[in-house]
Chains A and B, each alone.
Chain A
Protein backbone atom coordinates (compact mmCIF):
# COMPACT_ATOMS: atom_id res chain seq x y z
CA UNK A 1 0.00 0.00 0.00
CA UNK A 2 1.27 3.49 -0.82
CA UNK A 3 1.26 6.41 1.61
CA UNK A 4 -1.61 7.91 -0.38
CA UNK A 5 -3.63 4.70 0.02
CA UNK A 6 -2.89 4.65 3.74
CA UNK A 7 -3.98 8.26 4.05
CA UNK A 8 -7.22 7.52 2.19
CA UNK A 9 -7.97 4.54 4.43
CA UNK A 10 -7.22 6.63 7.52
CA UNK A 11 -9.55 9.37 6.28
CA UNK A 12 -12.28 6.83 5.59
CA UNK A 13 -12.00 5.19 8.99
CA UNK A 14 -11.82 8.35 11.07
CA UNK A 15 -15.03 9.96 9.90
CA UNK A 16 -17.76 10.64 12.52
CA UNK A 17 -19.61 7.48 13.51
CA UNK A 18 -23.39 7.26 13.29
CA UNK A 19 -25.01 6.66 16.66
CA UNK A 20 -25.81 3.04 17.54
CA UNK A 21 -29.48 3.83 18.12
CA UNK A 22 -30.06 5.35 14.68
CA UNK A 23 -31.94 3.59 11.93
CA UNK A 24 -30.33 3.42 8.51
CA UNK A 25 -31.84 2.57 5.13
CA UNK A 26 -30.38 0.80 2.11
CA UNK A 27 -31.92 1.01 -1.34
CA UNK A 28 -32.70 -2.38 -2.88
CA UNK A 29 -32.86 -2.48 -6.66
CA UNK A 30 -31.76 -4.72 -9.48
CA UNK A 31 -29.44 -6.49 -9.66
CA UNK A 32 -29.29 -6.98 -5.84
CA UNK A 33 -33.04 -7.42 -5.59
CA UNK A 34 -35.34 -9.75 -7.52
CA UNK A 35 -38.82 -8.18 -7.48
CA UNK A 36 -40.55 -11.29 -8.84
CA UNK A 37 -38.98 -13.57 -6.22
CA UNK A 38 -39.10 -10.84 -3.53
CA UNK A 39 -35.58 -11.83 -2.59
CA UNK A 40 -32.22 -10.11 -2.18
CA UNK A 41 -28.69 -11.42 -2.36
CA UNK A 42 -26.43 -11.25 0.71
CA UNK A 43 -24.15 -9.25 -1.59
CA UNK A 44 -26.46 -6.29 -0.89
CA UNK A 45 -24.49 -6.04 2.37
CA UNK A 46 -21.54 -8.35 1.78
CA UNK A 47 -18.69 -9.35 -0.51
CA UNK A 48 -17.30 -5.79 -0.53
CA UNK A 49 -15.78 -3.10 1.66
CA UNK A 50 -18.31 -0.25 1.40
CA UNK A 51 -22.08 -0.05 1.29
CA UNK A 52 -24.16 3.10 0.85
CA UNK A 53 -26.80 3.85 3.48
CA UNK A 54 -29.04 6.80 4.33
CA UNK A 55 -30.11 8.24 7.68
CA UNK A 56 -33.82 9.04 8.14
CA UNK A 57 -32.85 10.87 11.33
CA UNK A 58 -31.41 13.63 9.15
CA UNK A 59 -33.80 13.67 6.21
CA UNK A 60 -37.44 12.48 5.97
CA UNK A 61 -37.67 9.03 4.43
CA UNK A 62 -39.76 10.32 1.52
CA UNK A 63 -36.99 12.77 0.60
CA UNK A 64 -34.34 10.07 0.85
CA UNK A 65 -36.36 7.86 -1.50
CA UNK A 66 -36.82 10.79 -3.87
CA UNK A 67 -33.04 11.31 -3.99
CA UNK A 68 -32.44 7.58 -4.50
CA UNK A 69 -34.86 7.64 -7.41
CA UNK A 70 -33.02 10.57 -9.00
CA UNK A 71 -29.65 8.95 -8.45
CA UNK A 72 -30.27 5.24 -9.00
CA UNK A 73 -33.32 4.78 -11.17
CA UNK A 74 -33.14 4.31 -14.93
CA UNK A 75 -36.05 3.74 -17.31
CA UNK A 76 -35.31 0.02 -17.21
CA UNK A 77 -34.30 -0.14 -13.54
CA UNK A 78 -36.78 0.73 -10.80
CA UNK A 79 -35.99 1.23 -7.15
CA UNK A 80 -38.12 -1.55 -5.77
CA UNK A 81 -37.58 -1.95 -2.05
CA UNK A 82 -35.59 -0.73 0.92
CA UNK A 83 -33.93 -2.43 3.87
CA UNK A 84 -34.22 -0.77 7.29
CA UNK A 85 -32.00 -1.69 10.24
CA UNK A 86 -30.53 -0.17 13.38
CA UNK A 87 -26.80 0.61 13.46
CA UNK A 88 -26.24 -1.41 16.67
CA UNK A 89 -27.84 -4.43 14.98
CA UNK A 90 -25.45 -4.12 12.03
CA UNK A 91 -22.47 -3.85 14.34
CA UNK A 92 -23.58 -6.97 16.26
CA UNK A 93 -23.43 -9.04 13.06
CA UNK A 94 -19.63 -9.29 13.34
CA UNK A 95 -19.01 -9.74 17.07
CA UNK A 96 -15.31 -9.64 18.10
CA UNK A 97 -15.63 -13.00 19.91
CA UNK A 98 -16.08 -14.74 16.55
CA UNK A 99 -12.45 -14.01 15.80
CA UNK A 100 -13.13 -12.65 12.31
CA UNK A 101 -11.00 -9.53 12.82
CA UNK A 102 -13.83 -7.66 11.16
CA UNK A 103 -15.30 -4.51 12.60
CA UNK A 104 -18.44 -3.06 11.09
CA UNK A 105 -18.76 0.71 11.33
CA UNK A 106 -21.34 3.11 10.00
CA UNK A 107 -19.81 6.47 9.18
CA UNK A 108 -21.56 9.73 8.40
CA UNK A 109 -20.76 10.55 4.78
CA UNK A 110 -22.92 13.49 3.67
CA UNK A 111 -22.80 14.27 -0.03
CA UNK A 112 -24.07 17.21 -2.04
CA UNK A 113 -26.96 15.16 -3.36
CA UNK A 114 -27.73 13.37 -0.12
CA UNK A 115 -26.82 15.08 3.16
CA UNK A 116 -28.16 12.01 4.97
CA UNK A 117 -25.72 9.67 3.22
CA UNK A 118 -23.77 7.22 5.39
CA UNK A 119 -21.45 4.35 4.65
CA UNK A 120 -21.12 0.89 6.15
CA UNK A 121 -17.43 -0.02 6.12
CA UNK A 122 -15.60 -3.20 7.06
CA UNK A 123 -12.23 -2.83 8.77
CA UNK A 124 -9.93 -4.76 11.07
CA UNK A 125 -10.66 -4.51 14.79
CA UNK A 126 -7.93 -1.90 15.21
CA UNK A 127 -9.64 0.27 12.61
CA UNK A 128 -6.47 0.71 10.59
CA UNK A 129 -7.14 -1.44 7.50
CA UNK A 130 -10.13 -2.14 5.30
CA UNK A 131 -11.61 -5.64 5.45
CA UNK A 132 -14.06 -7.28 3.10
CA UNK A 133 -17.48 -7.83 4.64
CA UNK A 134 -18.05 -11.51 3.94
CA UNK A 135 -21.20 -12.91 2.38
CA UNK A 136 -21.94 -14.67 5.68
CA UNK A 137 -21.89 -11.39 7.58
CA UNK A 138 -23.82 -9.72 4.76
CA UNK A 139 -26.46 -12.41 5.03
CA UNK A 140 -26.69 -11.91 8.81
CA UNK A 141 -27.27 -8.19 8.30
CA UNK A 142 -29.84 -8.84 5.58
CA UNK A 143 -31.76 -11.22 7.85
CA UNK A 144 -31.96 -8.53 10.53
CA UNK A 145 -33.36 -5.95 8.13
CA UNK A 146 -36.98 -5.03 7.75
CA UNK A 147 -37.56 -5.17 4.00
CA UNK A 148 -40.20 -2.80 2.69
CA UNK A 149 -41.52 -2.83 -0.86
CA UNK A 150 -41.81 0.65 -2.40
Chain B
Protein backbone atom coordinates (compact mmCIF):
# COMPACT_ATOMS: atom_id res chain seq x y z
CA UNK B 1 0.00 0.00 0.00
CA UNK B 2 1.38 3.38 -0.88
CA UNK B 3 1.84 5.89 1.91
CA UNK B 4 -0.87 8.49 2.32
CA UNK B 5 -0.12 11.99 1.23
CA UNK B 6 -1.37 14.92 3.25
CA UNK B 7 -1.33 18.69 3.40
CA UNK B 8 -1.68 21.31 0.72
CA UNK B 9 1.69 20.58 -0.87
CA UNK B 10 0.83 16.90 -1.10
CA UNK B 11 -2.53 17.56 -2.67
CA UNK B 12 -1.00 20.07 -5.07
CA UNK B 13 1.59 17.48 -6.11
CA UNK B 14 -1.12 14.90 -6.63
CA UNK B 15 -3.17 17.30 -8.75
CA UNK B 16 -0.08 17.93 -10.87
CA UNK B 17 0.12 14.23 -11.57
CA UNK B 18 3.27 13.87 -9.42
CA UNK B 19 1.82 11.41 -6.95
CA UNK B 20 5.21 10.39 -5.55
CA UNK B 21 5.88 14.03 -4.52
CA UNK B 22 2.69 14.07 -2.48
CA UNK B 23 3.94 11.43 -0.05
CA UNK B 24 4.91 12.17 3.55
CA UNK B 25 7.02 8.99 3.81
CA UNK B 26 10.76 9.89 3.64
CA UNK B 27 11.49 6.53 1.98
CA UNK B 28 9.08 7.28 -0.82
CA UNK B 29 10.94 8.67 -3.80
CA UNK B 30 10.48 8.59 -7.54
CA UNK B 31 12.29 5.22 -7.89
CA UNK B 32 10.06 3.53 -5.30
CA UNK B 33 7.04 5.16 -6.88
CA UNK B 34 8.02 3.91 -10.38
CA UNK B 35 8.58 0.40 -9.03
CA UNK B 36 5.16 0.38 -7.40
CA UNK B 37 3.57 1.44 -10.67
CA UNK B 38 5.34 -1.37 -12.56
CA UNK B 39 4.22 -3.87 -9.89
CA UNK B 40 0.62 -2.62 -10.20
CA UNK B 41 0.64 -2.94 -14.00
CA UNK B 42 2.21 -6.42 -13.76
CA UNK B 43 -0.39 -7.53 -11.21
CA UNK B 44 -3.22 -6.26 -13.36
CA UNK B 45 -1.78 -7.88 -16.48
CA UNK B 46 -1.20 -11.19 -14.70
CA UNK B 47 -4.73 -11.20 -13.39
CA UNK B 48 -6.24 -10.34 -16.75
CA UNK B 49 -6.17 -13.92 -17.96
CA UNK B 50 -7.24 -15.62 -14.77
CA UNK B 51 -8.95 -13.23 -12.40
CA UNK B 52 -12.62 -12.79 -11.97
CA UNK B 53 -14.15 -9.39 -12.53
CA UNK B 54 -14.34 -8.93 -8.76
CA UNK B 55 -10.61 -9.64 -8.29
CA UNK B 56 -9.72 -7.17 -11.04
CA UNK B 57 -11.99 -4.63 -9.39
CA UNK B 58 -10.10 -5.12 -6.10
CA UNK B 59 -6.80 -4.30 -7.78
CA UNK B 60 -8.14 -1.36 -9.74
CA UNK B 61 -10.28 -0.21 -6.82
CA UNK B 62 -7.27 0.08 -4.51
CA UNK B 63 -5.93 2.78 -6.82
CA UNK B 64 -9.28 4.51 -6.99
CA UNK B 65 -9.50 4.54 -3.19
CA UNK B 66 -6.01 6.03 -2.93
CA UNK B 67 -7.07 8.81 -5.24
CA UNK B 68 -10.20 9.52 -3.20
CA UNK B 69 -8.20 11.59 -0.68
CA UNK B 70 -8.44 14.51 -3.04
CA UNK B 71 -11.74 16.36 -3.72
CA UNK B 72 -13.69 14.06 -5.98
CA UNK B 73 -14.96 15.90 -9.06
CA UNK B 74 -17.40 13.06 -9.70
CA UNK B 75 -19.13 13.68 -6.34
CA UNK B 76 -22.18 15.74 -7.37
CA UNK B 77 -22.42 17.52 -3.99
CA UNK B 78 -18.77 18.65 -4.15
CA UNK B 79 -19.11 19.69 -7.77
CA UNK B 80 -22.40 21.57 -7.38
CA UNK B 81 -21.17 23.26 -4.20
CA UNK B 82 -18.27 24.71 -6.19
CA UNK B 83 -20.61 25.85 -8.97
CA UNK B 84 -23.09 27.38 -6.57
CA UNK B 85 -20.32 29.29 -4.79
CA UNK B 86 -19.56 31.01 -8.09
CA UNK B 87 -23.18 31.51 -9.20
CA UNK B 88 -24.96 32.24 -5.91
CA UNK B 89 -22.17 33.05 -3.46
CA UNK B 90 -20.47 31.60 -0.42
CA UNK B 91 -23.57 31.60 1.81
CA UNK B 92 -25.46 29.42 -0.67
CA UNK B 93 -22.48 27.06 -0.92
CA UNK B 94 -22.30 26.73 2.89
CA UNK B 95 -26.03 26.16 2.99
CA UNK B 96 -25.90 23.44 0.31
CA UNK B 97 -23.16 21.64 2.23
CA UNK B 98 -25.33 21.71 5.37
CA UNK B 99 -28.42 20.49 3.51
CA UNK B 100 -26.28 17.60 2.31
CA UNK B 101 -25.81 16.45 5.92
CA UNK B 102 -29.48 15.61 6.55
CA UNK B 103 -30.00 11.84 6.53
CA UNK B 104 -33.16 9.96 5.55
CA UNK B 105 -35.83 10.42 8.24
CA UNK B 106 -34.83 13.99 9.18
CA UNK B 107 -38.40 15.35 9.49
CA UNK B 108 -39.62 13.06 12.26
CA UNK B 109 -39.29 10.12 9.92
CA UNK B 110 -40.84 11.83 6.87
CA UNK B 111 -37.86 13.60 5.26
CA UNK B 112 -35.53 12.14 2.61
CA UNK B 113 -31.86 12.96 2.30
CA UNK B 114 -30.72 15.22 -0.54
CA UNK B 115 -31.00 13.22 -3.77
CA UNK B 116 -28.43 13.00 -6.53
CA UNK B 117 -31.18 13.79 -9.04
CA UNK B 118 -31.91 17.19 -7.50
CA UNK B 119 -28.18 18.05 -7.55
CA UNK B 120 -27.93 17.15 -11.22
CA UNK B 121 -31.07 19.19 -11.91
CA UNK B 122 -29.64 22.19 -10.06
CA UNK B 123 -26.38 21.85 -11.96
CA UNK B 124 -28.25 22.04 -15.27
CA UNK B 125 -30.40 24.90 -14.03
CA UNK B 126 -27.36 26.92 -12.91
CA UNK B 127 -25.85 26.47 -16.35
CA UNK B 128 -29.00 27.86 -17.98
CA UNK B 129 -30.30 30.54 -15.61
CA UNK B 130 -28.87 33.76 -14.23
CA UNK B 131 -29.67 34.22 -10.52
CA UNK B 132 -27.08 36.95 -9.99
CA UNK B 133 -29.43 39.75 -8.95
CA UNK B 134 -31.84 37.57 -6.94
CA UNK B 135 -31.72 37.07 -3.16
CA UNK B 136 -31.84 33.28 -3.31
CA UNK B 137 -32.20 31.05 -0.22
CA UNK B 138 -31.86 27.25 -0.26
CA UNK B 139 -34.01 24.69 1.53
CA UNK B 140 -34.60 20.94 1.45
CA UNK B 141 -38.03 19.43 0.78
CA UNK B 142 -39.36 16.31 2.45
CA UNK B 143 -38.79 14.55 -0.90
CA UNK B 144 -35.07 15.28 -0.76
CA UNK B 145 -35.35 18.00 -3.41
CA UNK B 146 -33.56 21.32 -3.27
CA UNK B 147 -35.83 24.33 -2.98
CA UNK B 148 -34.62 27.73 -4.15
CA UNK B 149 -36.70 30.72 -3.19
CA UNK B 150 -36.45 34.48 -3.47
CA UNK B 151 -38.75 37.51 -3.27
CA UNK B 152 -39.83 38.86 -6.68
CA UNK B 153 -39.87 42.56 -7.55
CA UNK B 154 -43.09 42.99 -5.51
CA UNK B 155 -41.76 41.07 -2.52
CA UNK B 156 -43.86 37.98 -3.28
CA UNK B 157 -42.09 34.66 -2.91
CA UNK B 158 -41.03 32.53 -5.87
CA UNK B 159 -39.93 28.98 -5.13
CA UNK B 160 -38.40 26.32 -7.37
CA UNK B 161 -38.58 22.66 -6.37
CA UNK B 162 -35.82 20.98 -8.37
CA UNK B 163 -35.99 17.44 -9.70
CA UNK B 164 -33.51 15.77 -12.06
CA UNK B 165 -35.13 16.90 -15.31
CA UNK B 166 -37.77 19.40 -14.25
CA UNK B 167 -38.61 22.18 -11.82
CA UNK B 168 -41.88 22.88 -10.08
CA UNK B 169 -42.22 26.64 -9.88
CA UNK B 170 -44.47 28.19 -7.26
CA UNK B 171 -45.34 31.87 -7.60
CA UNK B 172 -46.99 33.38 -4.54
CA UNK B 173 -48.18 36.38 -6.57
CA UNK B 174 -50.61 34.19 -8.50
CA UNK B 175 -50.65 31.03 -6.37
CA UNK B 176 -49.71 29.07 -9.52
CA UNK B 177 -47.57 25.95 -9.50
CA UNK B 178 -46.05 25.14 -12.89
CA UNK B 179 -43.89 22.17 -13.83
CA UNK B 180 -41.26 22.90 -16.46
CA UNK B 181 -38.47 20.90 -18.07
CA UNK B 182 -34.91 22.06 -17.37
CA UNK B 183 -34.30 23.08 -20.96
CA UNK B 184 -32.93 26.37 -22.34
CA UNK B 185 -36.19 27.80 -23.73
CA UNK B 186 -38.35 26.84 -20.76
CA UNK B 187 -35.80 28.11 -18.23
CA UNK B 188 -35.33 31.36 -20.11
CA UNK B 189 -39.12 31.96 -20.21
CA UNK B 190 -39.39 31.07 -16.54
CA UNK B 191 -36.64 33.44 -15.42
CA UNK B 192 -38.23 36.39 -17.22
CA UNK B 193 -41.52 35.71 -15.40
CA UNK B 194 -40.19 35.32 -11.89
CA UNK B 195 -38.09 38.44 -11.24
Residues of chain A having any CB pair with chain B under 8 Å:
30-32, 34, 36-37, 39-43, 47-48, 50, 52, 76, 134-136, 139
Instruction: Flag B137-151 by CB within 8 Å of A: 1 or 0 each.
Output: 111111000010100
Contact A135 B98, CB 8 Å, known A47-B141, A48-B110, A52-B108 = no
Q: Which of B99, B106, B135, B141 contacts A37 (CB 8 A)?
A: B135
Of chain B, the residue at the smallest CB distance from A30 is B98
CA distance A136 to B178 in the complex (A): 12
Docked-complex contact B170 and A42, CB < 8 angstroms: yes
Please tell me if B175 contacts chain A, counting CB pairs below 8 Å: yes
What's the nearest-Cβ distance from chain A to residue B170, in Å?
4
Q: Give residues of chain B (153-186) contacting chain A, Cβ–Cβ below 8 Å.
A: 157, 159, 161, 170, 172, 175-177
CA distance A57 to B190 in the complex (A): 45
Consensus secondary structure, chain A interface: mixed
Q: Which of A31, A41, A52 contacts B149 (CB 8 A)?
A: A41
Docked-complex contact A31 and B170, CB < 8 angstroms: no
Docked-complex contact B138 and A34, CB < 8 angstroms: yes
Please tell me if B102 contacts chain A, counting CB pairs below 8 Å: yes
Docked-complex contact B172 and A31, CB < 8 angstroms: no
B contact residues, total (Cβ < 8 Å):
26
CA distance A134 to B106 in the complex (A): 21
Docked-complex contact A41 and B110, CB < 8 angstroms: no
26 contacting pairs across A/B (C-beta < 8 A): A30-B98, A31-B98, A31-B99, A31-B139, A32-B139, A34-B137, A34-B138, A34-B139, A37-B91, A37-B137, A39-B137, A40-B139, A41-B141, A42-B159, A42-B170, A42-B172, A43-B141, A43-B142, A47-B141, A48-B110, A134-B177, A135-B159, A135-B161, A136-B172, A136-B175, A139-B157
